[in-house]
Amino acid sequence: MSLFGLKFGRKKLKEEERQLQANNRDFNLQFEYANNSIKTSKYNFFTFLPLNLFEQFQRIANAYFLFLLILQLIPQISSLAWFTTVVPLVLVLAVSGVKDAIDDFNRHKSDKHVNNRPVQVLINGMLKDEKWMNVQVGDIIKLENNNFVTADLLLLSSSEPHSLTYIETAELDGETNLKVKQALTVTAELGEDLQKLTEFNGEVKCEAPNNKLDKFTGTLTLRGEKYALDNEKMLLRGCTIRNTEWCFGLVIYAGPDTKLMQNSGKTTFKRTSIDRLMNVLVLVIFAFLALMCLILAIGNGIWEYDKGYYFQVYLPWAEGVNSASYSGFLMFWSYVIILNTVVPISLYVSVEIIRLGNSFYIDWDRKMYYPLNDTPAQARTTTLNEELGQIKYIFSDKTGTLTQNIMCFNKCSINGKSYGDVYDMSGQRIEINENTEKVDFSYNQLADPKFAFYDHSLVEAVKLRDVPTHRFFRLLSLCHTVMPEEKKEGNLVYQAQSPDEGALVTAARNFGFVFRARTPETITVVEMGETKIYKLLAILDFNNVRKRMSVIVRSPEGDLTLYCKGADTILYELLHSSCDSLKEETTEHLNEFAGEGLRTLVVAYKNLDEDYFQDWIRRHHEASTALEGREDRLSELYEEIEKDLMLLGATAIEDKLQDGVPQTIETLAKANIKIWVLTGDKQETAMNIGYSCNLLNDDMEDVFIIEGSTPDDVLNELRNARKKMKPDSFLDSDEINIQFEKSSKKPKLIPDEQANGVYGLVITGHSLAYALEGNLELELVRTACMCKVVICCRVTPLQKAQVVELVKKYKKAVTLAIGDGANDVSMIKTAHIGVGISGQEGMQAVLSSDFSFAQFRYLQRLLLVHGRWSYIRMCKFLKYFFYKNFAFTLVHFWYGFFSGFSAQTVYDEWFITLYNLVYTSLPVLGMSLFDQDVDDRWSMLFPQLYVPGQQNLYFNKIVFVKCMMQGIYSSLILFFIPYGAMYNTMRSDGKAIADYQSFALMAQTCLLIVVSVQIGLDTSYWTVVNQFFIWGSLSVYFAITFTMYSDGMYLIFTASFPFIGTARNTLSQPNVWLAIFLSITLCVLPVVGFRFLKAQLKPTPSDKVLLKIKEAKKRPPPPSPKRRLRRTSTRRSGYAFSHQHGFGALIMSGRNMRPKSPFATTGTFSPNSDKHKHKGL
């Protein structure tokens, strides 16, 4: 792709199958595969002007003004100078164009940042640093630990045994646990030998680019042999290499063809609901304008026929006009030009300036700046601000958005005693914060310095060699699938396949049970400074049905023991009856842990009889080598041996939420915003986070779980849920049922339905796939939208976008999607507003977003403060703008009846030109940029103030009609009061002042003062700027008027300034000012009276809240209490364990083992250095 993104040549055919050769760019170039460059920008240097002008003239108003300009160039009908339209039109197009150019320039910068990332590419036998954008299909590239994967690669070889490569796929599916990929044996032999890699000429045939993240089919042909390729050998763009020194990969798909980008969805042109409403209103105004022009044209025809025909000597018809009807026809177009200000072109300039200004407020907001990684909030799009004040549905990712991707060992229960809480001298529990004293692990040279624990009693129990406590930590150091690595003495690194396991093994390490090394047959643990080697006899692997894992080990003393950890609901069924009393105590602790949102596991053990075990292991070997029913036979054997377990206790791990997440969710819920969590993570983990961040709670009537495996099952589950929430929704008389029985192809909007309580809904990915099809989508949207919270788990990036699209299709609501990973891009693009969180998972989400910041908690400020202010300001602006222009323009209409419908203007031409651009532009901009009904603190304290925006109460068709009626009323006053005051009037010196020019000056002066008083009434928050703009605009009006109507200007530009001396003659008369005062009073008094009576007799919910705030302002508000999450008394499992099935078998096979470390059994350790600290721990 060229610098400017231009692409010439024949149209590319749709790809059916991909064929490529390694290290052969010439061969691959013939297929014209996309290179690795991505492009999110819209324009380039050459296409900007034509494309931007094309987009701008798609606005009805802009096209209309171009049409007006053409009319004004026709002498027969033009009653105004051409510059009255050209100057504003050019200004509008220029301002909008500059703004669009700035937006696109920022997109170019973002694209450049990603495209210019460095990567090592094998070229001519050498590794060369290349930019991502220059990587092509068929290239071999080298990636190192913690690198982002550049493109979709076929893994060739790696530094790990058997060419295994560990990857984190958080950007693709939201999961933080490590996954393992393995290269083909034939390519693993290539290692890091550059000569062999250069000579590698394998040919790959595979499927065309698609968006299926979990499937890949292809073949590799090498030296005449064919090898099957599947997804287990692919590294996808968006993944991150972890715990792997280096790996080499062959580029299969690049840039837009990668599965990540295929899931990103199309970039759509987003427009706000106010934009769409304005287009409708502009059409209504056009119709109104046409009606007025038609009335005046008919009036002109009648007048010319009846009166004008008879005194043509005094007032001759224009050249070419030979009949009254033709005169009327020409007058129609003349009045179109004169009355065009009813749709002022400056409206669009002002809208763009207001949006730009409010965008800068977001960029400059220090309260949305995150100092830890120097990230300010950013409005990446400047056209959607007011939509932030109307959000009804938020669709959020979980991993990295609500959570930090960090697991911490927080609490535990051992032998009936709970550890982890801190108590003061009086026995009262105190809240842990940064000032709380940490446990000192300095006595343990092997401790991880980053591990923090606060309950000193647990360390004392370990030091006192309490048997259950030692057994508990021994279990944690043995029962797992973690891989240790020690390249040099003192640097112990854990390769945790799941972050939960990493946290548990690290906890055991700090408390004196250091997992140190493993082989396929042994596990080495340093127990309280003493090295012990346990024989690993079996791993009973984890899966989603068993929800537990066990290991069977033989201690150095010869004891056979089974250690097991898993979900409490499962393990409690397997316990020995002697554990009943301990089980009750542990259950109480589990309730507390789960109530605090912690992820819990129960741990248990069992001493095994030697003879029984020998018989069991023989049967286990037979089952594991059976050709049929292997899984079922192994499962039965696992069930058999995992019985009569002895309970040891429970662990509680905190999946650390981002700061302020529970409080933010609670505040947004008070603002009547519904939150849906869409995550690729598993159900237990998603629900656990749901409870910990206050989305789900035990006060809910019910939490429905939709997990049907057929369309009928899903339909029944959804209907049963809806029946419980609102039984009446199944009656034939139900409004929605009646609406959808009438067949229509166009999707109908579903009104909001109220459930009979507070409910939550959890739906799994495979059930969601059925629910998004055909008839089920209506059932899904009805049921889900009745719930306060919806959690969709195990969803693909495309499903996220489909869920957002579903709500947009059936609900008249504004949606917002927020995420931090590439798996969130499609929903961010689909929603009305897309928000990217910068930080945890790369920049992909930010690049596609409309707004970005570093922490989820800033969302409440973005919506409740900036969004609400932007919406209120825009609505006030539109109401005032339409009012002042109706009042201004309709005076011409009334004047037509007194001027023979001759298309003569009431005002001076210069006043018409400057009215919207100079005299009234700054006051309304001042209000639209600085006004606020309440400040940011009260906006956050009273989220209910946000609700009117969701219901679109501040500007809609009814409000527009009211503005129109007020404008018509004001125009009547502004015409007839000056007309009456001037009619047959004499000056104090006896001379007449009832001339056209004096009347024009009086009318325009009345108008300007009235609209200035009106904006004063509309302003809630007075600043120096507002005062300066209003008084300054009036001063400028009088200064310009006296200058333009002076003798000097007339002498210099006689034709352009005919109103000589009018200002000083007219404005010196007291009766003129009395008439101006009367006009102002009659225009403003009804508005003030109506607003007062409405607030007193029929206050809106917002009025009531504002009254509360006024009362509260008289006394300082109490500091908001810091609340702990409420503990629950209702039993529910807090189990969540992000583990991958099949990892136990991999360990027992030894395929992922390195050669034995020389430090594995002897010597001592020094604490870990930050350099080697595993990111997930």
- Tens digit of each residue's pLDDT (9 = 90 or more) over 117-145: 999 999 988 899 999 899 999 999 999 98
pLDDT given at position 555: 93
Mean pLDDT of the region 153-169 = 88
Lowest mean pLDDT among 535-539, 639-643, 781-785, 1039-1043: 1039-1043
Residue 1175's pLDDT band (boundaries 50, 70, 90)?
Answer: very low
Residue 449's pLDDT band (boundaries 50, 70, 90)?
Answer: confident
Instruction: Please enumerate in sequence order all residues whose Cβ is within 8 A of that of 519, keeping only pairs 6 or more positions apart, or say none.
Output: 1150, 1153, 1156
Catalytic residues: 397
* Number of Cβ atoms within 10 Å of the Cβ of 237: 26
Answer yes or no: is pLDDT of 319 > 90: no
| Percent of the chain residues topping a pLDDT of 70 | 86
pLDDT given at position 998: 82
Structure tokens at 523: 């596990």
Lowest mean pLDDT among 292-306, 335-349, 538-552, 846-860: 335-349
Residue 211's pLDDT band (boundaries 50, 70, 90)?
Answer: confident
- Tens digit of each residue's pLDDT (9 = 90 or more) over 1069-1100: 788 888 889 999 999 999 999 988 988 888 87
End-to-end CA distance of the chain: 41
Structure tokens at 995: 């001339």
- Tens digit of each residue's pLDDT (9 = 90 or more) over 1095-1145: 888 887 777 887 887 777 776 655 554 444 444 434 456 666 666 666 677
pLDDT given at position 520: 80
Count Cβ neighbours within 10 Å for each residue of 370-394 and write b for 16 or more, e otherwise.
beeeebbbbbbbbbbbbbbbbbbbb
Answer yes or no: is pLDDT of 378 > 60: yes
* Number of Cβ atoms within 10 Å of the Cβ of 932: 16
* Cβ contact 827:268 at 8 Å: no
Lowest mean pLDDT among 106-120, 217-231, 980-994: 980-994
Lowest mean pLDDT among 122-131, 333-342, 424-433, 664-673: 424-433
Cα torsion through 399, 404, 407, 409, rounded to 10: -140
Task: Select the more confidently predicted residue: 875 or 568.
Answer: 875
Residue in 483, 510, 477, 511 with CA at minimum distance from that of residue 496 = 483
Beta strand 646-657 pairing with 548-554: unpaired
Residue 997's pLDDT band (boundaries 50, 70, 90)?
Answer: confident
Mean pLDDT of the region 150-178 = 82
Residue 986's pLDDT band (boundaries 50, 70, 90)?
Answer: low
- Tens digit of each residue's pLDDT (9 = 90 or more) over 24-64: 999 999 988 988 888 877 888 888 888 888 887 777 777 77
Place of tokens 């015409």: 975
Angle between helices 957-982 and 1070-1097 (to 10 degrees): 150
**Cα diameter, the chain:** 131
- Max mean pLDDT among 275-289, 503-517, 585-599 falls in 503-517
Residue in 819, 821, 791 with CA at minimum distance from that of residue 803 = 791
Burial classification of residue 570, based on how many CB atoms lie within 10 Å of its CB (0-12 exposed, 13-18 middle, 19 or more buried): middle
Question: 725: helix, coil or strand?
Answer: helix
Structure tokens at 805: 């699209």
Mean pLDDT of the region 1024-1034 = 91
Count Cβ neighbours within 10 Å for each residue of 945-975 and write b for 16 or more, e otherwise.
bbbbbbebebbeeebbeebbebbebbbbbbb
Instruction: Please enumerate in sequence order all residues whose Cβ is within 8 A of that of 133, keeping only pairs 6 or more positions apart, or say none.
Output: 1, 35, 36, 37, 38, 115, 116, 255
Mean pLDDT of the region 98-119 = 84
pTM exceeding 0.75: yes
pLDDT given at position 1123: 47
Across-strand partners of 734? none
pLDDT given at position 7: 40
Place of tokens 């009949």: 323
Structure tokens at 982: 């001037």
CA atoms within 13 A on the CB side of 284: 12
Answer yes or no: is pLDDT of 18 > 80: yes
* Number of Cβ atoms within 10 Å of the Cβ of 622: 11
Three-class DSSP labels, 644-681: CEEEEEEEEEEEEECCCHHHHHHHHHHCCCEEEEECCC
What CA–CA distance (Å, rounded) separates 501 from 407? Answer: 9
* Number of Cβ atoms within 10 Å of the Cβ of 774: 9
Across-strand partners of 549? 565
pLDDT given at position 741: 66
pLDDT given at position 1118: 56
* Cβ contact 163:188 at 8 Å: yes
Across-strand partners of 585? none
What CA–CA distance (Å, rounded) separates 619 from 643? Answer: 17
In single-letter form, the type of residue at position 774 comes to: G
What CA–CA distance (Å, rounded) separates 800 from 805? Answer: 9
pLDDT given at position 1061: 58
pLDDT given at position 905: 82
* Number of Cβ atoms within 10 Å of the Cβ of 1159: 18
pLDDT given at position 1029: 92
What CA–CA distance (Å, rounded) separates 1050 from 1063? Answer: 13
What CA–CA distance (Å, rounded) separates 294 from 71? Answer: 17
pLDDT given at position 795: 86
CA 42 to chain centre: 21
pLDDT given at position 1056: 59
Answer yes or no: is pLDDT of 870 > 70: yes
Mean pLDDT of the region 442-447 = 81
Residue 863's pLDDT band (boundaries 50, 70, 90)?
Answer: very high
Three-class DSSP labels, 851-901: EEECCCCHHHHHHHHHHHHHHHHHHHHHHHHHHHHHHHHHHHHHHHCCCCC
Question: 223: helix, coil or strand?
Answer: coil
Q: What is the mean pLDDT of the chain?
A: 83
Residue in 702, 680, 652 with CA at minimum distance from that of residue 1135 = 652
Residue 1165's pLDDT band (boundaries 50, 70, 90)?
Answer: very low
Question: 156: helix, coil or strand?
Answer: strand
* Cβ contact 934:1112 at 8 Å: no
Mean pLDDT of the region 601-612 = 93
What CA–CA distance (Å, rounded) separates 920 from 1034? Answer: 9
pLDDT given at position 531: 92
What CA–CA distance (Å, rounded) separates 517 from 527? Answer: 13
- Tens digit of each residue's pLDDT (9 = 90 or more) over 629-674: 878 888 899 999 998 999 999 999 988 888 889 899 999 999 999 9
Write phi, then psi, for 1083 (nearest 5 degrees): -75, -40
- Tens digit of each residue's pLDDT (9 = 90 or more) over 223-252: 888 998 988 899 998 888 987 889 999 999
Q: Rg of the Cα trace of the chain?
A: 37
